[in-house]
Amino acid sequence: LFAPSRDGISHNPREWTDWEDCADATRVLAGALADLATE
């Protein structure tokens, strides 16, 4: 699972991910978990 960081900065105190990107990643995770739960 990946949520992009602004300006590609990662593992740094300046790292920032916009809330909409966090929400998108959360939706992907929820969908994957729902698929796994119904297999």
Residue 24 has what pLDDT? 98
The pTM of the full predicted model, rounded to 2 decimals, is: 0.78
Residue 26 has what pLDDT? 98
pLDDT in tens, 1-39: 899 999 999 999 999 999 999 999 999 999 999 999 999
* Cα dihedral 27/32/36/39 (nearest 10): 100
> Are residues 3 and 27 in contact, defined by beta-carbon separation less than 8 angstroms?
no
> Are residues 24 and 3 in contact, defined by beta-carbon separation less than 8 angstroms?
yes
| Alpha helices (runs of H) in the chain, residue ranges in sequence order | 19-37
Tokens 């909409």 locate to: 20
